[in-house]
């Protein structure tokens, strides 16, 4: 599911946008302040930004400029004045689209979908972005960069934790015994035994699960082993 950040100080508008986007199955966050919005945009992973122009703290021009210096994520700018749109274009900030208030929420959703589709095609065809990704319900495993994100927030895993999680996620719905997992992830000469697997699963859950007593990703199959839920 795509994750969208709305930076908008008029809460009624932000909530309306959020409602419509959620109806189309997007995950939506709202930030009402420019400075906090910019920080959030730079520090987390989003698939698209909806950015109001006039904001307290840092304005939309500056936010767009800083996003572009760091990311290729699509930016749709929202403004109350048509004149501002000419100004945004003139500044060449690199926004992908512009909408003037008032706009129909369904128009916004249509544009969001179009930009996400275009961006996904762009990533798929770009040789610099050929990272092998596994994405399941908010969990993103970047196999190329060996990084793990939960809802856009990076989680730091050790080498073996990463290998174990990736292996399970690449083989979802398959129950592996602890012996099988130990053989797969640890080489024959490594010190340890199947208890090592249990310890690593516990550590992975502490890092990626919201509630470790009710795991959403790695399921324990009692008396057998573990399975990655899909």
Beta carbon nearer to Ca ion, 17 or 161: 17
Contact status: 54 vs Ca ion (CB under 5 A): yes
Residue 58 Cβ vs Ca ion, minimum distance, rounded to whole Å: 12
Q: Which of 17, 31, 52, 84 binds Ca ion (CB under 5 A)?
A: 52
30: contact with Ca ion by CB under 5 A: no
Q: How far is the CB of 115 from Ca ion (least distance, A)?
A: 21
Which range binds Ca ion by CB under 5 A, 2-10, 92-100, 104-112, 187-195? 2-10
Q: How far is the CB of 54 from Ca ion (least distance, A)?
A: 4
Q: Taking CB under 5 A as the rule, does residue 31 contact Ca ion?
A: no
Q: Let me know: does 50 contact 73? Beta carbons within 8 Å.
A: no
Judged by CB under 5 A, how many residues of this single chain contact Ca ion? 3
- CA distance readout (Å), 164 to 93, 167, 190, 209: 42, 5, 15, 15
- CB 4, min distance to Ca ion, A: 18
From first CA to last CA, the distance across the chain in angstroms is 14
Residue with smaller CB distance to Ca ion, 97 or 180: 97
Select the span of 32-40, 46-54, 56-64, 140-148 touching Ca ion (CB under 5 A).
46-54
Q: Which is nearer to Ca ion, 80 or 116 (CB)?
A: 80
For Ca ion, the closer of residues 32 and 177 by Cβ is 32
Q: Measure the CA–CA gap between 142 and 144, rounded to whole angstroms.
A: 6
| Residue of this chain nearest to Ca ion (CB atom) | 54
Tell the smallest beta-carbon distance from residue 106 to Ca ion (Å): 21
Tokens of 207: 């890092």
User: Which spans of this chain sit near Ca ion (rule: CB under 5 A)?
Assistant: 9, 52, 54
């Amino acid at each position: 599911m795509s994750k969208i950040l709305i930076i908008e100080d008029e809460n009624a508008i932000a909530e309306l946008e959020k409602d419509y986007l959620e109806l189309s199955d997007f995950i939506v966050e709202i930030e009402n302040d420019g400075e906090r919005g910019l920080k959030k945009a730079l520090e987390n992973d989003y698939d698209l930004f909806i950015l109001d122009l006039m904001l307290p703290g840092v304005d939309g021009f500056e936010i767009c400029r800083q996003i572009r210096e760091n990311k290729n994520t699509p930016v749709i700018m929202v403004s109350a004045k048509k004149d501002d749109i000419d100004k945004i274009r003139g500044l060449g900030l690199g926004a992908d689209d512009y909408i003037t208030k008032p706009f129909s929420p369904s128009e916004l959703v249509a544009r969001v979908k179009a930009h996400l589709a275009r961006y996904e095609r762009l990533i798929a065809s770009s040789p610099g972005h050929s990272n092998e990704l596994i994405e399941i319900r908010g969990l993103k495993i970047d196999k190329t960069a060996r990084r793990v994100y939960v809802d856009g927030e990076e989680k730091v895993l050790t080498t073996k934790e990463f290998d174990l999680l990736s292996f399970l996620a690449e083989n979802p719905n398959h129950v592996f015994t602890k012996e099988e997992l130990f053989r797969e992830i640890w080489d024959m000469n490594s010190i340890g035994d199947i208890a090592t697997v249990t310890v690593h699963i516990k550590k992975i859950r502490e890092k990626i699960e919201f509630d470790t007593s009710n795991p959403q990703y790695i399921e324990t199959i009692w008396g057998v082993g573990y399975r990655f839920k899909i």
